[in-house]
Amino acid sequence: MSRIRTKMAAPALSRRSVLAVLSLMLNAAVLCNGGTTSSFVRKVEKAVDMPLDSDVFLEPPGYNAPQQVHITQGDLVGKAVIVSWVTMDEPGPDTVHYWKENSKHKKKAKATVTTYKYYTYASGYIHHCTIKHLEFNTKYYYEVGAGSLARTFWFTTPPEVGPDVPYTFGLIGDLGQSYDSNKTLTHYELNPAKGDAVLFLGDLSYADNYPNHDNVRWDTWGRFVERSVAYQPWIWTTGNHEIDFAPEIGETKPFKPFTHRYRVPYKASNSTAPFWYSIKRASAYIIVLSSYSAYGKYTPQFKWLEEEFPKVNRSETPWLIVLLHSPWYNSYNYHYMEGETMRVMFEPWFVKYKVDAVFAGHVHAYERSERVSNIAYNIVNGICSPVSDQSAPVYITIGDGGNLEGLATNMTEPQPKYSAFREASFGHATLAIKNRTHAYYSWHRNQDGYAVKADSLWFFNRFWHPVDDSTTAHS
Ligand SMILES: [Fe+2]
């Protein structure tokens, strides 16, 4: 009897063992695996630039009419706006008229005019005008050009900087000027939860993909995005496609077209170059870094950032956000590790100062990380794996604006543990800050309806509410 029992018990034990082992393996898979690689598979088509005669590139009618109108924040706190535009035939008029909504009292501000040559291309007349001493949270109209060629636009200044001021940012990267770029911009504009300002993650026009960096494509891009950037400020980050370094055609001054066309308020944050700077806007402190300027120890960017982080007062601006082009945490097989040297230099500060989120572009796809850091390594200790860290930022790659280089579809496998969600689709995102503790983030792929969220997350502020906000903690 006992033998029979033993015989019968043996297979039962064995099944339990198998089940236990299986369960362990499944658990291990869950623990070792990263987050989600989206099951949505976009039809792979080549992204094609819109032809020069596309309606989105049309010049406004009339001799020397102002075109390529764009605005950005013009000071540290949002009481100034830089208005820029181009006239193709001759300089000026150089006056911007502006007035508050419901006011007949028009004020004037003067622009400066610049031009540049790039190989055989000669630019139009690029006007930049900083309108200062604006009131917070106020709608203004502004007019560039004169007489029958005057063109009127409007913007709303942000609320005064403060800890519980709600504010929504749009997030777009690597836009370019393909048919997909147009879809991305349209989806952003028609998103019912769209932002009041755009944080742009670098790589604007992709003019440098054309023979001799055909700068006509900088002009077409300026006309294409005017429908958004003339009405809400885009905060500029520089990407590799802004470098325009081409010694083979005698162009050896990096960033020449970009710096002539786009101005940023870098001096207001004591920066010495327009590629790294910071602004405050509502309840956010936004630090813009340059992946393509020196950032090693003793360099201007390093020294500036070292002095910048201690200035951030989370009681005034609870949300600390960093923008840069080349992502530090990227599990696609594109631009792999390109952000690594900057990560090594700066990541300890990001953890020390509890950055809430880092937004990057460059990789033409979407990816969101868990809160991780990788700062323990000291050359000899061998501790070189990213670990969960509630003082670390969430890293989001949103280089999926739709440029002609197409999507990054090839991912490293298995998905690393730090990668919470990834998908190779074009799209944009929004970050809606609600108060000092909560912000709602969502990513929208172009294939969906305007209000559909393909990825979303409540961010908990790292200073005021440092509770685990990871995907796994929510589920
Ligand atoms: Fe890039």
**Burial (CB count <10 Å: 0-12, 13-18, 19+), residue 44:** exposed
Cα(206) to ligand 1 centroid in Å equals: 9
Which one of the listed residues 127, 335, 362, 428 is annotated catalytic?
335
Cα(167) to ligand 1 centroid in Å equals: 27
pLDDT digits (tens, 9 = 90+) for 303-355: 999 999 999 999 999 999 999 999 999 999 999 999 999 999 999 999 999 99
Q: Which of 172, 169, 171 is nearest to 401 (CA)?
A: 172
pLDDT digits (tens, 9 = 90+) for 267-316: 999 999 999 999 999 999 999 999 999 999 999 999 999 999 999 999 99
Mean pLDDT confidence for 240-246? 98
pLDDT at res. 474: 54
90 band by pLDDT with thresholds 50, 70 and 90: very high
pLDDT at res. 31: 34
Cα–Cα distance measured from residue 466 to residue 473, given in angstroms and rounded to the nearest whole number: 13
Cα(405) to ligand 1 centroid in Å equals: 10
Cα(230) to ligand 1 centroid in Å equals: 24
Catalytic residue status for 362: no
pLDDT at res. 408: 81
Residue 199 pLDDT greater than 70, yes or no: yes
Which segments of 262-357 does DSSP mark as H helices, in order? 300-308, 340-352
pLDDT at res. 33: 56
Could you tell me the pTM of the whole model?
0.92
Q: How many CA atoms lie within 13 A of 206 on its CB side?
A: 19
Cα(326) to ligand 1 centroid in Å equals: 7
Cα(201) to ligand 1 centroid in Å equals: 9
**Burial (CB count <10 Å: 0-12, 13-18, 19+), residue 32:** exposed
Cα(342) to ligand 1 centroid in Å equals: 15
- Which residues are placed with Cβ below 5 angstroms of ligand 1, an ion? 203, 239-240, 362
Six token digits for residue 335:
């631009």
pLDDT digits (tens, 9 = 90+) for 25-36: 333 333 345 788
